[in-house]
Structure 1
Amino acid sequence: MDRTVEPRVLALGWLARRPLCQAELRKRLAARGVDRDSVERTVADLVAERLLDDEALALDYIVLRSGRLRLGKQRLVRDLERRGVDRDVALRAYGRAIEDGDVDPDELLREAVASRLRRERKLTPAAQRRVYNALLRAGFSAEGLYAELKRQSAALESAEHQDDDESP
């Protein structure tokens, strides 16, 4: 097989199975022993043909992972950076997801806090710390997380006190 065709065939096969960013494709081609010039040419051709698009990949990743896994901005951007997507591209994609209405960070935070609080048997300070730390690792900002956790905890405590007052 002609060496100029082989990297393209490999790349198209991989892209047919799973979306890849430019860095991932470069790494896979290099691991197969494709010379650097051929790797760069293949990546450039696929980008020009819009078959390889880091921003589209980042946008899809953000929309899917934020909703399904309830991940915050910091975690999503960090995960994309680990995959090899440029930080600016990831941040731009996050902003676009918000603009398009695909991601609502405030609603996402509310849902994530509520979901984590439901898992706790009692609303103790230790439980609140567990929820806070878990959602901090999930990529939510410390300030927003603290405020939302405080708001929902107060609402839950108020509801518990009402239940206690109504019991005979």
Structure 2
Amino acid sequence: MDGGGRAVDPVVAAREICLRQLTTRARSRAELAATLRRRGVAADVAETVLDRLTAVGLVDDRAFAAAFVSSARSHRGLGRQALAAELRRRGVQPEVVQAATEVVADADEEHNARDLVRRRSAAMGGLPAPVRVRRLLALLARRGYSAQLAARVVQEELAAVDLDQAGLDPDELDSGEVEPDW
């Protein structure tokens, strides 16, 4: 019953719940289904409403996943593994997760990892190298970067920082003209 004593159509009520959820941000079908379950909406009513919202394009897990990947990469600096985990947590189907995360190019992921390491290592200048390495590796792991990529990026970026602080040119080291003292 609504405020006027009339019976409320459960489909209309469920649709309103979903539309209110979608006004704040895009949501996966599974997120909307969970909200409807929590609100006591019958499973058949929820399925009817979600099918209709999907048919009209208001619920689209592929578009949701693509938008999430783009946004989380640029605003939160997440790597593929963290993006995939977050999408799975939101109930996105595995094949949709895979398709959404495959668009992240290796070079882009490496660029983002390097950017994170540069920004964070600048604030760690006074720490001993092993501590910096451990903290930077942990940062990249939390952000969903592979261990191999994290190790390579941290090693290369810290070597470059140490060389800069010593006033050495990395190209001179590659040519064998200068021997590092570390």
Query: TM-score band (shorter)?
Result: 0.7 to 0.9
Please tell me the root mean square deviation across aligned C-alpha atoms, in Å: 1.9
Name the CA distance, whole Å, in 2 between partners of 1:67 and 1:19.
17
Contact 2:110 2:153 in 1 (8 A): no
Per-residue CA deviation, residues 5-35 of structure 1 (Å, 9 max, x unaligned), is: 2211221121122211111100111111111
Contact 2:80 2:104 in 1 (8 A): no
TM-aligned CA deviation for residue 88 of structure 1? 2.3
If asked which structure has higher relative contact order (CA below 8 Å, sep 6+), I would say 1
> Normalized against structure 2, the TM-score is what?
0.81
Counterpart selection for 1:77 from 71, 84, 88:
84
Letter in 2 for 1:135: L
The corresponding residue for 1:4 is 11
Name the CA distance, whole Å, in 1 between partners of 2:147 and 2:95.
22
Question: Which protein is richer in helix relative to its size?
Answer: 1
Q: Evaluate the alpha carbon distance shift between residue 152 and residue 64 of structure 1 in structure 2; reply closer, same or farther with a 3 A threshold.
A: same
Name the CA distance, whole Å, in 2 between partners of 1:119 and 1:81.
33
The corresponding residue for 1:120 is 124
Letter in 2 for 1:108: N
Contact 1:59 1:97 in 2 (8 A): no
TM-aligned CA deviation for residue 97 of structure 1? 5.2
3-state DSSP of counterpart to 2:11: coil
After TM superposition, the structure 1 = structure 2 runs for residues 126-137 of structure 1, keeping only pairs within 5 Å, are 126-137=131-142
Larger radius of gyration: 2
Name the CA distance, whole Å, in 1 between partners of 2:49 and 2:74.
33
Name the CA distance, whole Å, in 1 between partners of 2:29 and 2:53.
9
After TM superposition, the structure 1 = structure 2 runs for residues 43-122 of structure 1, keeping only pairs within 5 Å, are 43-96=50-103, 98=105, 104-122=108-126
3-state DSSP of counterpart to 1:145: helix
Per-residue CA deviation, residues 84-140 of structure 1 (Å, 9 max, x unaligned), is: 112321221122354xxxx92121111112112112123511111111111111100
The corresponding residue for 2:48 is 41
Name the CA distance, whole Å, in 1 between partners of 2:66 and 2:45.
28
Gap runs ≥5 in structure 2: 1-7, 169-182
3-state DSSP of counterpart to 1:5: helix
> Segments of 4+ in structure 1 off by > 4 A?
none
Letter in 1 for 2:167: Q
State how many pairs are aligned.
160
> Normalized against structure 1, the TM-score is what?
0.87
Contact 1:66 1:72 in 2 (8 A): yes
Gap runs ≥5 in structure 1: 164-168
Q: Evaluate the alpha carbon distance shift between residue 14 and residue 77 of structure 1 in structure 2; reply closer, same or farther with a 3 A threshold.
A: same
Counterpart selection for 1:21 from 28, 42, 45:
28
The corresponding residue for 2:162 is 157
Percent identical among aligned pairs is 30
